């Protein structure tokens, strides 16, 4: 089982070869939750693991805590 398969959303779904990784709606929801992430950082995120990494770095969290935070945030998201 892929660790990212627990996510109810699939950031890969929105990735095109030339387009953004997320919809504008998803970007705003993500920035509302993690306001320390810049618009440039958020727009470059393509996978849940990249989001976890950014949250971990920006908020000085352990990998486990960042993973829990992202998974909890994603529970009701249908991006």
Per-residue pLDDT tens digits for 10-66: 444 544 444 445 666 777 888 889 999 988 888 888 778 889 999 999 999 999 999
Q: How far apart are CA 28 and CA 43, in angstroms?
A: 10
Q: How far apart are CA 12 and CA 7, in angstroms?
A: 12
3-21, pLDDT tens digit by residue? Answer: 444 444 544 454 444 444 5
Q: DSSP code of 52?
A: H
Q: What is the pLDDT of residue 16?
A: 45
Q: DSSP code of 13?
A: G
Q: How far apart are CA 42 and CA 50, in angstroms?
A: 10
* Entry pTM: 0.68
Secondary structure class of 61 (helix, strand, coil): coil
The CATH class that applies to domain 10-74 reads: mainly alpha
* Ranges of each domain in the chain: 10-74
**CA R_g for the chain:** 12
């Amino acid at each position: 089982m892929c660790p990212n398969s627990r996510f109810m959303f699939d950031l890969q779904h929105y990735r095109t070869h030339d387009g953004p990784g997320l919809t504008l709606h998803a970007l705003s929801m993500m920035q509302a939750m993690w306001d320390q992430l810049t618009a440039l950082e958020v727009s470059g995120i393509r996978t849940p693991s990249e989001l976890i990494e950014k949250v971990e770095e920006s908020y000085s969290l352990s990998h486990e805590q960042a993973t829990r935070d992202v998974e909890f945030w994603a529970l009701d998201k249908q991006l």
